A and B are shown apart, each in its own frame.
Chain A
Amino acid sequence: MTGVLHRRSFAAMLAGLGGSVAANRFLGPHVFGNLLPDAWAAETANAPELARYPQKTDMILLTDRPPQLETPLRYFTTDLTPNDAFFVRWHLSGIPTSVDTRTFRLAVSGNVRKPLSLSLQDLRTRFEPVSLVALCQCAGNSRSLFEPRVPGGQWGNGAMSNARWTGVRLKDVLDAADVLPGTVQVGFRGLDTPPIPQTPRFEKSLSIDRARDGEVMIAYEMNGTPLPMLNGFPIRLVVPGWYSTYWVKALSSVAVLDQPLKTFWMDTAYRVADNPGAEESPQQLAKTTVPITRMAVHSIFVKPAPNEQLVAGKSYTLQGVANDGGSGIRKVEVSTNDGKTWGDATLGTDLGKYSWRLWHMPWTPTAKGSYRLQVRATTDDGQQQATSQWNRSGYQRDVIEHLDVVVA
């Protein structure tokens, strides 16, 4: 019964949306980015297309309508990912391409005493600004590394980026709206629309406790400047520690709910096996699933680049990034002999428990030959990476990664 009413109200809302967002337009020539430096060229050997979108640098093109753009690994050598290199992932092709900052409003409605319609100026002046460094990572980051392969966006390791977010606490906004008793969830929508009315709009929900934990933010700046349009201008939700499926871009509507949100995007998509490692096998798919939430502990190599030519006797710096879902990274270990022995990497600047952590370790290969490098991270609360992993959706990558290099 409730589901039916939901759908009806959505339909009514959709009817009112006509013409609110500039339609997707595909004008002008496509522009390919410049060639990458030699050491990184190999990285894209199997990724045929680079793309340069407005406000973005050269990115690995997964899809163009809607845009899904992967950050090339060469941008993962700094604590904060430049906005123009920040990865892009939209679900529905009706993405916002134009926003009038004078008329844009964020609606806060539903099970509240005082529904709000907030301008961008309201957000900047009526609430205390807060700032936080947090990793934004697609649930399907590194999906292309799963074996057997699974369908979905074939991301390498670049469906993540780290930024300093500035905005307001969602809690403060909810408090201003005066949430009524009986609230169980808060739902979120952005300006993106489906290409045909039959397609469900992209929408997500958080429990009221998560929504009011004081950490979830509505961000109007990343790295000190407004968000690029493709990263959610003018505001996006920031859910520190959780996969970015919840980080609704171009956030336009916050709905306070007295019943759980019924939507494909929570009930069917973005779900993982209901066990600690979200583990299953093609032969034995998990029977029960739950919405994906907290990011798993994971670490990757950034240097050397895949297939980089190394020379015996020369000194190199192995480096990369490690992250988890909010405990913090305690330790990163690297092996240069396929896991026989491990050494501690040096950790980079600690920018807070929701940030990724850069790591590096010197390495001078003494002999020619093939080497399998491995990297594994341990969190502050003792979680470690898996030695094997598979799930049907290619989500929540947490397996110990390796990199095969040849020393000449």
Chain B
Amino acid sequence: MKLHRSIFVLPTALALLTFASAQQPGASSKSAKASRNPVQEITLPNYPADTPPGPNLAAYQQKCLLCHTSRYVTTQPRFPRTVWEKEVKKMVDVYGAPITAEEQQQIVEYLFAIKGPVDNK
């Protein structure tokens, strides 16, 4: 049986793409200038986390916001607990989030508290 080869090869040159050139003063985010500048660079704006108060907020902040913005949650409509359980499980099973079973429970509690059905209290 033919073994499958390493399919995605990254050119060495790319690996050498440097911070140094990216950080040179005057690097512009405007396309017009960038077309003259061989290094195209942007600086992403910083949006403060939007974390409504709720139980186990610390676990949510430490585990969920490690990889993604709080807006993944705050822009969602309200959902029943089963939906939030499924979402947290997906983060662990699919995305490999390092969250213990106990922490998963805690995080579901938080999500349910801030984005559960209106009548969940």
Contact = CB atoms under 8 A, between A and B. Distances in A.
Interface of A: 1-2, 5-6, 9-10, 12-13, 16-22, 24-31, 51-55, 61-67, 83, 93, 95, 97-105, 107, 109-111, 115, 117, 144, 149, 151, 153-154, 187, 189, 194-200, 203, 225-226, 228-230, 233-234, 252-253, 255-259, 261, 264, 268
B42 A55 contact: yes
Contacts of B72: 63
7 contacts: A5-B4, A28-B43, A51-B47, A98-B39, A117-B11, A194-B67, A253-B9
B94 interface: yes
Going nearest first, the 3 A-B pairs with the smallest beta carbon separation are: A198-B96, A98-B22, A105-B11
A5 B8 CA distance: 13
B66 A255 contact: no
Given A103-B16, A104-B17, A233-B40, 16 more contacts: A5-B4, A10-B8, A16-B10, A30-B47, A55-B30, A55-B31, A65-B47, A98-B40, A99-B41, A102-B38, A199-B97, A200-B94, A229-B29, A229-B40, A255-B7, A256-B7
B8 A203 contact: yes
B51 to A, nearest CB: 13
A100 B21 contact: yes
B18 interface: yes
Contact of B67 (A64, A95, A196, A268): A196
Contacts of A19: 15, 19
B98 A29 contact: no
Interface stretch (B54-62, B75-83, B102-110): B75-83
B68 A199 contact: no
Contact of A54 (B6, B7, B29): B29
Contacts of B71: 61-64
Contact of A55 (B15, B29, B75): B29
Q: Which of B2, B34, B87 neighbours the largest number of chain A CB atoms within 10 Å of its CB?
A: B34
Interface of B: 1-11, 13-19, 21-22, 29-31, 34-35, 38-48, 66-69, 71-72, 75-77, 79, 83, 87, 94-98
Given A25-B43, A55-B30, A63 B8 contact: no
A257 B6 CA distance: 10
Residue of B2, B17, B72, B77 with highest tally of chain A CB at under 10 A: B17
B44 A26 contact: yes
Contacts of B10: 13, 16-17, 20, 107, 252-253
A100 B39 contact: yes
Contacts of A55: 29-31, 42
B47 to A, nearest CB: 4
B61 to A, nearest CB: 14
Contact of A198 (B3, B15, B68, B98): B98
Contacts of B83: 151
Nearest to A22: B22
B98 to A, nearest CB: 7
A222 to B, nearest CB: 11
A264 B11 CA distance: 24
A65 B14 contact: no
A25 B21 CA distance: 15
Contact of A65 (B13, B29, B68): B68
Scoring B3, B39, B44 by chain A CB atoms within 10 A of each residue's CB, the highest score goes to B44
Contacts of A230: 42
Given A54-B29, A115-B9, A196 B45 contact: no
A103 B13 contact: yes
